[in-house]
Structure formats: C-alpha cells, structure tokens
Structure 1
Amino acid sequence: MAFDAVLIEQMRAREATRRWWPGRTINDELDACVAECPDKIALTARRVEDGTTTRFTYRELAALADRVAVGLVRLGVTRGDVVSIQLPNSWQFTVLYLACSRIGAVLNPLMPIFRERELSFMLAHGESKVVVVPRRFRGTDYEPMLSALQPGLPALRHVIVIDDGTAANSFETLLSGPQWELQPDASEILTRHRPGPDDVTQLLYTSGTTGEPKGVMHTANTLFSNIVPYAQAMRLSRDDVVLMASPMAHQTGFMYGLMMPILLRAHAVLQDVWQPQAALGLIAGEGVTFTMASTAFLSDLANAVTESGTAVPTLRTFLCAGAPIPGALVERARAALSAKIVSAWGMTEMGAVTLTRLDDADERSVATDGAPLPGVEARVVDENGETLPPGVAGRLFVRACSAFGGYLKRAHLNATDAQGWFDTGDLASIDAQGYIRISGRSKDVIIRGGENIPVVEIEALLYRHPGVSQVAIVAWPDARLGERACAVIVPKPGEAVDLPSLTAFLKTQGVATQYWPERLLLLDAMPVTPAGKIQKFKLRDLLNEMLDQQT
C-alpha cells in the first residue's frame, strides 16, 4: 500500500522547531518497558460474557507480539501492508497492534458494529491483506460475513478467526500458537522492517458528510505528541491503572487504552462489553485509577454505584468526551464516584484537542469542553475567515502537533491549509480564558453515545426505500446517549411508511444497527429554502416541540 500522508511533510518542519514530536514509536516504548519493568502486569483483559480474565506481564506481552509478528510475515504480510481487525477490546487487539508495529505493517481497527456495507468499502479502500475477527460476538457470526465479502476484495488473502483455536484459520493456529519467534530467521524479521516515527502506523475510518467514510492516517509522532501532554495534564504515571471500556477501534480506546499505558509503563485493564456492574468489579479488583469514555458510560457507572452501594475509592478521574456533560450528571457522578469529572473534546484526526484541568472548578466541565492541550492552537472565524472575538461562535479551526497525515486516497478532502490549520467542521466559541465550547456542527453528523452516525449515507439509502419521497435524518436529544437519530420522511403518495419497515430495509443493506433511526416523523412536506434545500434546523425545532409536549 502506498500511503499518501501528504500532511506529514508539511508538519515536519514546523514540529522540528516546536519539538512536540517525540521521535519514538510504540516499539521503542515496549522495548523500554521490558528493560525497566519486565515482570510488571501490563495488561488485564476481561470478557464480560463468561468472566474470563487474561493477564500479561510486559515481558510476556512483548514475547507474544514478536511471535504474532513473525506469524503475520509467514502469511505474506510485509512493511506497509494493512492488517484489519474487527475486534472488541481484547488482549488480541493489543497484541496485533504491537505485532504489526514490529514489522512495519499498518493496523486498521474496525468497529464490531460494522456490517457488510461498511466493511466492503473499508476493506477495499484500505486494500487490507489480512482481517482478524471473532468467530462470534454479541450474537453476530463474523466469519461467514467476511468470507462472503472476500471474493470482492482482491487484496484480502486471509480471514483469521479468534475462537477455540482448533480451526485451520484460527488466530491460535496461524499466529499465537506456534513459537515463531524461536525460528532461525525471526530476529532478522523483527528488526528488518521496523517503522520510523513518521511512517503510517494506524488507518482509522471516520464517518463524515461526503457519503463515504474517510481513512485517517496517523504516525507514531502524531499519536504520541498528543498522548504525552494528555497524560501529563491528567497527572498519570506508571503507578496508575487505566480502565478502557470505550471501544479500542475508536481513537479514545486506541490512544489512551492501548498506547498510553505502555508509554507510562502502567497497567491497562480492558473490558470488551460495556456493563456497569462488571466495570465496578474491575475498578475494585484491579485498583483502577483512571478511565475515559462517553457521557453514557459516566451516567451508567454513577447509577451502578448508587444502586449497588459499591464504592470506587481508587478511581481518581473520569474523563468524559463525545457529548456535553449535563450539570446534573456532573453533580451526581461526583457524589457517587468521588472522582474528578473532566470534560474533553477531540477528533479521530488528532485525538483529544481540549481538556478541562484537574484543578478547574466542576463548572468548567459543564460550561466548556476544555482548553487546548500543549501543542494545539485553536481559533474561531467568521464566514470570511476573520478571527472572531472571545465568546462569539463561528467555525472552529485547529492546528495541532497531533494532526493526522491526511485522508487515504482523498487528499482533496484534507481540509488543511498551507499553514496547517484544519477546518474541524464544528461551530464553537472561545472564552477570554481560552476555553472552548462546541456549539454545533456545520458537518451533518449525529453523535450517538460517542459514535458518529453517517447521516448522508443513511439518507441516501433510505431514498431507495419504495415508500420514501423525501428523507432527512436529524438528531433528537437523549439523556443517556446525548443524541439519537430521527428519520423525518415525506412518503410517496399512497404509500405507508413505518419505523419497522425502515429498519428492516436498512438491515437488508448491511447497515450497522447503531446507525438505524430510532424515531420516525412523517410530514406532508419538508421545510425548505427558496433554493429547495431542506432546513434541518426547523425539523430539529419541530421535533423538540413534539418531545416537550409529550413530557
């Protein structure tokens, strides 16, 4: 794969003087862990369904990463090849990233919720050579789904399945079972193609407004230049225990649940399915001190503590991102958890951009999304590109040391000018103290529990429904998830449309369940501009009025 990460060269000169890029890779950090604390517990992974717990010391983790790396080479994976993994939070996820990094392969995490439509595009666009999936997870059989897609994916050579280890294509049979690292050529394999800090190491797809996902390319420098100041701001050290229940196939889980603990020489605890009672058990049993997740997770955990009476005295900080935190939730969570609630905002393209500080008053986490991290600059501009004064909302532009290298095969969408300013697509204001408040999104995306819903893509599909004349997907507020999707539809004359028929139609299109609309509003006509453009703000107002009348 030829990666067109054109923004890296643009950033290199700037970062050479600013010195935010550390010039190290995950290989360097893992090797240092083995040298400094080989027998320290590095990783604990819990499967909620059966309670299985797997632990690795840093020595064991590195040895297994080496083994899997050589196994991947035996399957034909070489430097620059893409290895896709559609896995929940698991030790295999962590090991596969470390293994890919040993041989210069690029990891492409895929959300477990993705189905045929999303997977067929992403695996083809990224030219994935290998994909690793669970045989079954949360009621879905992954192997038949991927095997059915494989004939249409000429680059895809292997579908590897995590199961009981007996199948010919199992993870254990092909990668983690044989002692590949002891073979005569293993040492040369493990050193020949190690990537540098400016080589692409991660390919992560993000939902956008262009009708298709975009492949975000990151290097070790862009990722670590964010993780280092983030960890410093949260005052994290090797003595911390980091719980990650937010998906590692999102930047939150990947950067702060997989990479950051290794950087810190800390202990990572992974939870594969969000279940608040299970999280309580892990926090108590492992002595968890820090976690990061969306608002819904915070609400659930606070409720679980209150209902069960189980205290979590070791938990110092819960960093909450993905949606604004209601003031009442901050108060309730502070009382229940006795932990500091930190608000943050970020993007797949650059990780966490803003954080409130540990010394800030709680009100900051309610009223703002935090101030930019070191190495990050932000400005708000009007429609003419002129910088706006404090407190005035406009388009948010960010220039960051952690900015991505570009969108794979879509450089024309990089939205970054010659000075490195990236158009976030969000509307925001910056107060006199430099704290940012995201006030809306100029891009047409709904964020449901931290998961972006690709609105344009879902609308395009629903226009194919035989009963739909016009459709618009808009957000409606939800106390737990922040937002849910409502389909506003003008039916064709004489056609009956209901929510079950819409979701059944999307299911036949292979669309992830989480992207389906959860409410339906039928109209005789859409509110439109004189040019005929649907006025979604009026639809949102109408929906909110209807919800207010129902309460």
Structure 2
Amino acid sequence: MEFDAVLLPPRRAAMVAQGWWPERTINDALDACVAVCPDQLALTAVQVETGEVTRFTYRELARMADRIAVGLSRLGVGKNDIVACQLPNWWQFTLTYLACSRIGAVINPLMHIFRERELSFMLQHSEAKVMIAPHTFRGFDFEQMITALQPNLPHLRQLVVVGGNGANSFDALLSGPAWEQAPDAAAILALHRPGPDDITQLIYTSGTTGEPKGVMHSANTTMANILPYAQRMQLDSESVVLMASPMAHQTGFMYGLMMPILLKARAVLQDIWEPKKAIELIRTEGVTFTMASTPFLTDLARTVTETGQSVPTLRTFLCAGAPIPGPLVEQARAALGAKIVSAWGMTENGAVTTTCLDDDDERAFNTDGCPLPGVEIKVVDGDGHPLPAGQPGKLLLRACSNFGGYLHRPHLNGTDAEDWFDTGDLARIDERGYLRITGRSKDVIIRGGENIPVVEIESLLYRHPAVALAAIVAYPDERLGERACAVVVPKPGQSLDLPGMVEFLKAQKVALQYIPERLVVRDDLPSTPSGKIQKFRLRELMRHSAL
C-alpha cells in the first residue's frame, strides 16, 4: 500500500523540536517493558459468553508478538501491507497489532458490527492483504460472510479465523507454531522495523460524504496524544485499565491497547459490555481507570446501586461520546466513588479536551473539558474570524496528534496551511478555556458513541420503491445520547412502515446499529427555495415531538 500521509512531513520538524512527538514506536515501548518488568502481568482478556480468561506477562506478550509477526510474514505480509482486524476485545486483537508493528505492517481495525456493505468498501479501499475475524461472535458467522466477499476482493489473500479449527485458524497459522524459533525469524523481525513516522494504523470513520474515510496515524501522532492524556489522568505503571469500549474504535485502541504498554501498566479487556461482569472485573483485577461512552457509565452506576457491589479501586471514569447529564454525574459519583471526567475527541486526533481531576464536578456536565497539552482550539465565524468567549461558531483545532490525512482522499483532509483542522462541529469556549460542543455542521448522528453514516443510509432509502424523499435526523435518548429517525415522503399511492424499512435496509447488508429506530411518514419535508431539505427544522420538530 502506498500511503499519502501528506499532513505529516510539513510539521515534523516543529513537532520534534517542541517535544510533542516522542520519536518512539510501540516496539520500543514493549521492548522497554520486557527489559524493566518482564514478569509483570500485562494483559488479562475476558470473554464474557464463554468465561475464558487469558493472561500475558510482558515477556509472554513480546514472545507471542514475535511469533505472530513471523507467521504473518509467512502469509506474505510485509512493510506497509494492511492487516484488517475485525475482532472484539480479545487478546488476539492486541497481539495482532503488536505483531504488525514488528514487521512494519499496518493494522486496520474494523468494528465487529460491520457487515457486507461496510466491509466491501473498506477492504477494497485499504487493499487489505490479510483479514483476521472471529469464526462466530454473538451468534453471527463472520467466516461465512467474509468468505462470500473474498472473490470480489482481489488484494485479500488470506482470511484468518479466531475460534475456528480449520487450516485457516489463528492458532494454526499464527499463534500455534513456534515461528519465533525459525532460523530466519531474527532476520524477518529486524528487516522492516518501522520508524515513528511510518503509518501504523488505518482506521475508518463514518463519512459525511457518503463513504467512510480512512484515517492514517503514525506512532508519533498516537503517542503525542496518549502521553499527555495519561499524565493529566495521573496514570502510571501502577494503573489497571479496564477497556470494554471496542478496540476497533480509537477509544479502545489508543487507551486500552496502546496506553497500558506505554505506561508499563496492566490492561483488562472485556469483549461484551455487561455491567455486572464489569463490576466483577473491577473488584477482582483491581481496576483503577476506565474510559467509555455515557451509556456505559449509566449502566455501571445503576448496577452498582442495584446490587450493592461497590468498586472501591476505581478512581476515574472518563466519559466521552456524548454530553454527560448533570444528574448522572451526581449519581455516578455517589455510586462508584470515582471521579467522573468529561472528554471530547475525534478519530483523527484522539482525545482533544478533558476536564481535570481537580475540577469541580459541574465542569463534567457543563463542559467537554479544556485542551490537552499540545492541542489548540478556536471557535470562528463563517468567515474564519475568531469569536469571543461564550459565542458559538465553527470549531477548529491544531494538535500534535492530528492525523496524517485520509487515505487516497487528500482533498478531504480539512487542514489549512497553518495546520488548523476543521472538526465539522459547532462549539463555544468559555472564559476559562473550556469547550462545549453545541452542534454539528457535518451530517452525523452519534448513537452510543458510534457514528451513523447518515448520507449513506439516506442514499439506500432512496432506492426503496415507495420512497420519494428521505431524511435521517437525530432524536434525543437518555441512555444512548441520540438515536436515528428516518423521515420520509412516500411516492403517490405507496406506503412504508417501520418493519418494512428495517427489512429493506437489512437486505442491503447494513450494520444493524446504523438502521433508524424510528420512522415518520409525512406529506412533505421542509425545504429551502432551491429544494434542499432543512434538517434543522426536522430536528426542531423532533425535539417538540411535532412530527
């Protein structure tokens, strides 16, 4: 794969000179762990459905990373080749990334909710050479789905299955044979060891242009975010990080997979969110920190209250993805005894703002925090002029962790000559420098921390034989923050109901989480004189239940 990470070279000298780019890779961090604390427990991975628990010390983690790296090379994977990984929070996910980094390959994390439609585009666009996926997970047959897609993916040479027993299983191809003891193993591991500016991660974000965009990150851009984040949260080698947010999201990847290794700390992975199991893990593993979206906090606080099972070791719960309601902060503080931290970020940058541990609780529900070190933010008007404190406008940011660009889509990078990145969000900044997201200039709905690709789903609705006009808008939800509502105008003599719409979108192989959960049928949609649908009016009607 040829990467066009055009946003990295122009700012390299300044980032290194200012000390924001650490000039290290995950290989350096893992090697340091082996040198300093080889027998310390590094990773505990828990599969909720089976009860299986797998543990690795840092010595074992490095040995298995080498083994899988040589195994990947046997499959033809080399420098800058893409290894797609559609796994839940299993130990194989962590080890796949570490193995890719050993040989200069690039991991492409894919959410396990993705189905044929999303995967067809992403695997083709990334030119993934190897795909690693579950045999089955939560009752769905991933092996069957991807096998059916493979004939139309000319770059995809090999499907590797976790949990299967065949010749293409993860154990048979990668983790079983002692590849690291092969005569050529040392040469393979030394040949293409990546540098800090090489692309290490390609991760897709739901596009507002009708297709996902491949975000390119290097070791320097990811670590430039993780290190100040950890410092602000006062995390260190004694920390135990619970990660139940998917590692195929930047939240899980950066702060559940990478961060514990950078800190020489411990990670605890939970593959399916189940609050009672989370409480058990916090208590038995001594978890001190976790990060997740608002529904996770709601569920955890409620379950602690209902069961009476306290979580005394948990010191901090960082909540991102949607504003935290004030009553929830109070309830969670009382139930968990932990500091509730509010944060906001993007796939392109990682966490951008967080509240601080010594802030009053009100800042966690009234703001989205202040910028991390190495990050600048500003709010501007339509002409790009900075606005005074408290006045809403377009949010721009300039960060040491800004991505390298969108793969093969440089015209969408949204970064000007002075490195200001247009977030697509609307916000205000108060007199203390704290941010509050107030809306979006981009057409995205965030459901429980998951971006719904509105334009793509609308395009599919227009293919329905009964639909003349369609628009998808958000409506508020207490637990998930937002849900999606489809508002349609049927063609003359036609009709459409919610079950029919859902079945139609399922037939288009859309991820279930992307399908609108509400349908409103109208005679017309509010529009401009030129015919553009006025979604702001639909949202306003939705808020007042007047649809």
TM-score between the two structures when normalised by the length of structure 2: 0.99
Deviations 1:409-443 (A, max 9, x none): 00000000111000000000111111000000100
Letter in 1 for 2:529: P
Q: Which amino acid aligns with 1:128?
A: A
Query: 2: distance between equivalents of 1:7 and 1:163?
Result: 39
2:96 match:
96
Report the AA paired with residue 31 of structure 1.
D
Matches within 5 A, 1:60-75: 60-75=60-75
Mapped partners of 1:174, 1:162: distance in 2: 10
CA deviations 1:194-247 (Å, max 9, x no partner) are 100000000000002100000000000000000000000000010010000000
Residue 306, structure 1, aligned to residue 305, structure 2 = yes
Q: Which structure 1 residue ranges, 5 or more long, are not aligned? A: none
1:453-482 per-residue CA deviation (whole Å, 9 max, x = no partner) reads 000000000000011110000000000000
Paired residues of 2:33 and 2:58 also in contact (CA < 8 A): yes
Alpha-carbon distance between aligned partners in 2 of 1:425 and 1:88, rounded to the nearest angstrom: 29
Q: Shift in Å at residue 532 of structure 1?
A: 1.1
Secondary structure of the corresponding residue to residue 298 of structure 1: helix
- Residue of structure 1 equivalent to 2:221: 222
How many residues were matched structurally? 547
Which residue number corresponds to residue 15 of structure 1?
15
| Aligned 8 A contact 2:256 2:267 in 1 | yes
1:541 aligned onto 2:540: yes
Once the two structures are superposed, residues 321-348 of structure 1 have per-residue CA deviations (whole angstroms, 9 ceiling, x without a partner) of 0000000100110010000000000000
Q: Secondary structure at the match of 1:7?
A: coil
Q: Distance in 1 between matches of 2:543 and 2:360?
A: 31
1:23 maps to amino acid: E
Residue of structure 2 in register with 1:345 after alignment:
344
Give the CA deviation at 1:111.
0.1
SS of aligned partner of 2:8: helix
SS in 1 for 2:281: helix
* Contact kept? 1:87, 1:111, Cα under 8 Å: yes
Identify the residue that residue 324 of structure 2 maps to in structure 1: 325
Superimposed CA distance per residue, residues 337-385 of structure 1 (whole angstroms, 9 cap, x where no aligned partner) = 0000000000000000000000000000011000000000001100010
C-alpha distance after superposition, 1:8-40 (max 9, x if no partner): 002212213321000000000000000000000
Counterpart of 1:430 in structure 2 is 429
For 1:394, the equivalent position in structure 2 comes to: 393
Shift of the alpha carbon at 1:514? 0.1
Structure 1 runs of 4+ aligned residues shifted over 4 Å read: none
The answer to whether the 8 Å contact 1:106/1:202 transfers is yes
Give the corresponding residue for 1:58: 58
2:100 & 2:327 partners in 1: Cα distance?
A: 44
Instruction: Report the counterpart of residue 163 of structure 2 in structure 1.
Output: 163
User: In 2, Cα distance between the equivalents of 1:99 and 1:265?
Assistant: 18
Contact 1:41 1:57 in 2 (8 A): yes
Structure 2 partner of 1:150: 150
Partners of 1:455 and 1:291 in 2: CA distance: 30
Distance 2:524 2:167 in 1: 57
Tell me how far apart the structure 2 counterparts of residues 544 and 230 of structure 1 sit (CA, whole Å): 35
Distance 1:518 1:455 in 2: 13
Map Cα deviations across residues 252-285 of structure 1 (whole Å, 9 max, x no partner).
Answer: 0000000000000000000000010010110001
Q: For residues 359-398 of structure 1, what are the structure 2 equivalents within 5 Å?
A: 359-398=358-397
Contact 1:208-1:443 within 8 A present in 2 as well: no
Letter aligned with residue 56 of structure 1: F
Q: Tell me, in whole angstroms, the C-alpha distance in 1 between the residues paired with 2:343 and 2:434.
A: 11
Aligned amino acid, residue 244 of structure 1: M
C-alpha separation between the residues in 1 aligned to 2:265 and 2:63?
18
Partners of 1:51 and 1:154 in 2: CA distance = 38
Asked if the contact 2:16–2:22 (Cα under 8 Å) also holds between the matched residues in 1, the reply is no
What is the CA RMSD across the aligned residues, in angstroms?
0.8
Distance in structure 2 (CA, Å) of the matches to 1:465 and 1:332: 45
Instruction: Map 1:132-151 to 2 at 5 A.
Output: 132-151=132-151
**Counterpart in the other structure of 1:482:** 481
TM-score relative to the length of structure 1: 0.99
Mark the runs of 5 or more structure 2 residues left unpaired by the alignment.
Answer: none
Shift of 1:301: 0.3
Q: Matched residue of 1:45: which SS?
A: strand
Corresponding residue of 1:462: 461
Give the drift of 1:50.
1.4
